[in-house]
Chains A and B, each alone.
Chain A
Amino acid sequence: MGSLFTWVWQHWYVLLPLLLGFLAIWKLLPHARQPQSAAMMGLGAAAIILGGIVLPRATGVHVSWMFDLFFYLFAGAAIASAGAMITQRNPVYAALYFALVILNVCGLFLLQSGPFLAAATVIVYAGAIIVTFLFVIMFAQQSGLAQYDRRCREPLLASLAGFLLMGALLYAINASYQVSPRLTGLVKGLEETVNSAAKTTKLEVKDLMGILRVNDAPIDLLLAEELNRLPGWPEKAAARAKLHQLETQVIAAAANQDTAVLLNLVKEYYSLAASLQHAQQRYTGLLGIPAGMQTQVSPLSRRTEEPGHVAQLGRTLFGDYLLAVELAAVLLLIATVGAIVIVQRPKEAAA
């Protein structure tokens, strides 16, 4: 029970916005007996704003304030209109909110330098699909709001399932794109020691040995564990050998009561832990992928620094994926034929 509480306490920044959002969506979904309340809409908005403030805390990524501003603008608007779409009672408004979601997602595409993709998505989704569906909605519901739009099936269970899925995804993303907090604490502690050791001259062997133990576990064990979380790091073997070497040197220095050597060893540990932290940041992609670890793609698909994104995307599509493009064309043709066949009335009914 205590461990569950600590787990909740450690992950409050994931759990709290999710809980608020769950309450808001559950209460806002069309219930037969409750009208939509402004308080719940406020709760949903609070969930989005809180999530926007606390969720990036874990990853701590900042590109540039302009990029961040547009990212949060588009992301917040996309999520807000997604929530409005699934809770909206009038299907026409819901379709329009869906168009808003598409437009904001296209803004996010633009931020990832995909102008052609953004334009194509706007044309296909917001242009074609939405208009056709609005047409069908107006054709089918000429007599105002229908009964079935004013109530929904199992709002509690549905929102519970959706938010559990969301929570699992967010937890996994957070766990894989975060430098281990233990390593961060370790680096900070060692840094303080090294800085304070530079000022004071009197140092005891006992104190220095105490620094090299964290929560009663030797620092070597912790570093070895963190090293195991980096399976693809090219300098892993070197770091492991360095760790072994440091371990034997510390034992020898402690036996000799040699303070100066021990202090040097603490500095060595500090630099090792700092390089490990840097490697974790790089490996989890928080600082971008190092040159040696990029995935191998054909030169046609590689993104170059020169401008002209559309040309490069076209080269990818009609170079590496030419066969797939042809197949997609066939697929579109078959879907068109299929749609016409499905909606055809039987002959006797048409006559």
Chain B
Amino acid sequence: MSQAILPNYLIVGAILFGLGAIGFLSRRNLILMFLSAEMMLQGVALNLVGFGGHHKNYQGQAFVIFMLTVAACEAALALALILVLFRNRKTLDVSVWQDLREANQDPVQDESPLLLEPEMTPMHFPRLTPAGLRPDQAASPEEAATRG
């Protein structure tokens, strides 16, 4: 019954793969690039599961489990690498690593200044009352922040 749905699974997998590719090519945050690559993997996993259901065997799902293992290894290593890169330059921007480019390539520069948006105001988070104090006697959030 459900094996007839195969082309639809392939279509969704292809769309996730393409969107992941766009994210990987255009975003500059190292972590977002990594997440986009993971999303491409999800598209492939959908294809494998769809084909497994289509052929009525478990090979597709077994393959996806191995893919999950490799993705977990990859995530561990990528996280370690990102931490090392961040420690070196104090930023997650890939553009600061563009001195690794080939000798005849021009550097990428940001030309247009940023447009400041109203939505970019800093966010306020709730704070817990320190232990041993009554809430009405507790210090205001600002004082608590300065005291650490």
Contacts and interface: CB of A to CB of B under 8 A. Distances in A.
A151 B38 contact: no
Contacts of A94: 32, 35
A339 interface: yes
B73 A148 contact: no
A170 B14 contact: yes
Interface stretch (B42-50, B99-107, B126-134, B137-145): B42-50
Given A136-B82, A302-B57, A332-B69, A154 B45 contact: no
A71 interface: yes
Interface in B105-122: 108, 110, 112-115, 117, 119-120, 122
Nearest to B75: A129
Interface residues of A, number: 103
Interface string B8-24: 11111011111111110
A287 interface: yes
Contacts of A316: 57-59, 61-62
Interface stretch (A26-34, A184-192, A257-265): A26-34
A109 B66 CA distance: 15
Chain B at the A interface: mostly helix, strand, loop or mixed? helix
Interface in B23-57: 23, 25-29, 31-32, 34-36, 38-39, 42, 45-46, 49-50, 52-57
Interface stretch (A4-12, A95-103, A193-201): A95-103
Contacts of A324: 66
Given A129-B75, A158-B25, A316-B62, A33 B3 contact: no
Contact of B2 (A67, A78, A102, A169): A67
Contacts of A285: 3-4, 6-7, 54
A35 B115 contact: yes
Interface in A107-164: 108-109, 111-114, 116-117, 120-121, 124-125, 128-129, 132-133, 136-137, 140-141, 144-155, 157-159, 161-163
Query: Which 6 pairs from chain A and chain B are nearest by CB?
Result: A166-B18, A86-B23, A162-B22, A335-B73, A158-B26, A169-B14
